[in-house]
Amino acid sequence: MTTGFFWDETCFWHGGGNYAGMLPVGGLVQPLDGGLPESPESKRRLCNLISVTGLAGDLAMRGAPPATQDDLLRVHPKSYLDEFKRLSDAGGGELGRRTPFGPGGYEIAAQSAGLAKAALSAVLSGDLTNAYALSRPPGHHCLPDWPNGFCLLANIAIAIEAAREAGQAKRFAVLDWDVHHGNGTEAIFYDRGDVFTVSLHQDRNYPMDTGAFADRGRGAGEGYNLNIPLPAGTGHAGYLAAMERIALPAIRAYAPDVLIIACGYDAAANDPLGRMLAHQDTFQAMSQQVMALADDVCDGKLVMVHEGGYSEVYVPFCGHAVLAQMSGSKITAPDPFGEVFHLRQPDDAFDAYLDTHLSALAQALG
Ligand code: ZN
């Protein structure tokens, strides 16, 4: 059993600007000193942690070439790519909402997509048992012609289209457990039945106007999109219940050739961009759940692509647990917040409310 870990130093060099647009800086709001949330540190420190603990030695550490122009054109219109490249060559800029980039941003985004593409390809070819792509910038919010939410290219969609073009698979399932709605992945495949998109997210976090349960797909894609909005404050047990009762049975019924996880860590209890109460054990347990499902329906073919997660201190510990689970390594990085976050879970009244919510969703699905 071999787990691949795909990464590239240049992904840490993506200049995401200071995201002044996220905060109402001005007037009486004093500008912050330093970067705002999409910093490379959460990702770089994950690399550092697996190196320090030795977990990296139990993984196949790999690089990958950037996604090619042909790869990008399967998802994004030429007009968008041309404008992105022009601004990137001119020193950087902003083409959408909360997606500033620095000089060379185009090449770095293509590198990020290339990691996802290579991870998926290596798993589908049987070269690796499963794989993790440490992509940055992330991708799950990006629409074909409109970047948003830190996402400049739709990494997972680009990887899927490359795998399809290469004849490696026909049916794909994407499960997005980032705390924000995977609106880009949803939009790209909304009319299609060959990619089943599932998103668990905090209800009306980001984007605020997408991610409703009622949005099930359109035309040939009707029934092949599933949103599972969860109330703010959902914790460890709530996440596992939503997976067990709704997300996993739906993917099982779809029976994909491969399962791809849009793996964000911003549902963690101390994330600045989420209001959930997940912790290291939650991510490890969800990894266990999806590995068991992948074993049952697609010969264990599982690929995780890194999305959000903005606690520079905590993301590495959650990612370490995911990678240890994927690889079967016994090397651990004990949760420095574990004691507090295990206590800081919803009360019985919240759990009863969530149970009612999930029952209603399960019933609506039949
Ligand atoms: Zn997110």
pLDDT of residue 240: 98
The pLDDT tens digits of the residues spanning 268-321 come to 999 999 999 999 999 999 999 999 999 999 999 999 999 999 999 999 999 999
Residue of 182, 109, 100 whose CA lies nearest to 143: 182
Ligand 1: centre distance to CA 161 (Å) = 23
How far from the centroid of its chain's Cα atoms is residue 299's Cα? 22
Active site residues: 141
Q: Is residue 79 part of a domain?
A: yes
Ligand 1: centre distance to CA 167 (Å) = 31
State the total domains in the chain.
Answer: 1
Confidence of residue 92 (pLDDT cuts 50, 70, 90): confident
pLDDT of residue 26: 65
Ligand 1: centre distance to CA 137 (Å) = 12
Ligand 1: centre distance to CA 112 (Å) = 16
H-helix segments, the chain: 41-53, 69-73, 78-89, 105-124, 155-165, 183-188, 236-242, 248-254, 280-298, 315-327, 338-343, 348-365
- pLDDT of 72 higher than 60: yes
Among 15-19, 38-42, 48-52, which is the least confidently predicted range?
15-19
Confidence of residue 29 (pLDDT cuts 50, 70, 90): confident
Ligand 1: centre distance to CA 57 (Å) = 29
Q: Is residue 31 part of a domain?
A: no
The pLDDT tens digits of the residues spanning 330-349 come to 999 999 999 999 999 999 99
Ligand 1: centre distance to CA 58 (Å) = 28
Confidence of residue 78 (pLDDT cuts 50, 70, 90): very high
pLDDT of residue 47: 98
Ligand 1: centre distance to CA 268 (Å) = 11
The pLDDT tens digits of the residues spanning 187-201 come to 999 999 999 999 999
Mean pLDDT across the chain, nearest whole number? 95
- Which value, in Å, is the radius of gyration of the alpha carbons in the chain? 19
Ligand 1: centre distance to CA 177 (Å) = 9
Query: Virtual CA dihedral for 166, 298, 355, 262, nearest 10 degrees?
Result: -30
Query: Virtual CA dihedral for 69, 160, 166, 256, nearest 10 degrees?
Result: 180
User: Are 141 and 121 a contacting pair, CB within 8 Å?
Assistant: no
What average pLDDT does range 24-43 have in this prediction? 73
Q: Is residue 22 part of a domain?
A: no
Whichever domain contains 75, its CATH number is 3.40.800.20
How far from the centroid of its chain's Cα atoms is residue 112's Cα? 13
Q: Is residue 71 part of a domain?
A: yes
Q: List beta partners, residue 196.
A: 173
Instruction: Give CA–CA dist 84/154, Å, rounded.
Output: 14
Q: Is residue 19 part of a domain?
A: no
Four-residue CA torsion sign, 330, 260, 4, 169: positive
The pLDDT tens digits of the residues spanning 125-145 come to 999 999 999 999 999 999 999
Instruction: Give CA–CA dist 322/318, Å, rounded.
Output: 6
- pLDDT of 20 higher than 60: no
Structure tokens at 366: 């039949």
Ligand 1: centre distance to CA 210 (Å) = 14
Domain that holds residue 159: 3-13+36-365
Q: Is residue 20 part of a domain?
A: no
- pLDDT of 227 higher than 70: yes
Q: Is residue 220 part of a domain?
A: yes
**In this predicted model, which residue has the larger pLDDT, 18 or 9?**
9
Whether pTM exceeds 0.95: yes
Q: Is residue 45 part of a domain?
A: yes
CB within 5 A of ion ligand 1: which residues?
178, 180, 264, 266, 308
Query: CB neighbours (10 Å) of residue 295?
Result: 12
- pLDDT of 267 higher than 70: yes
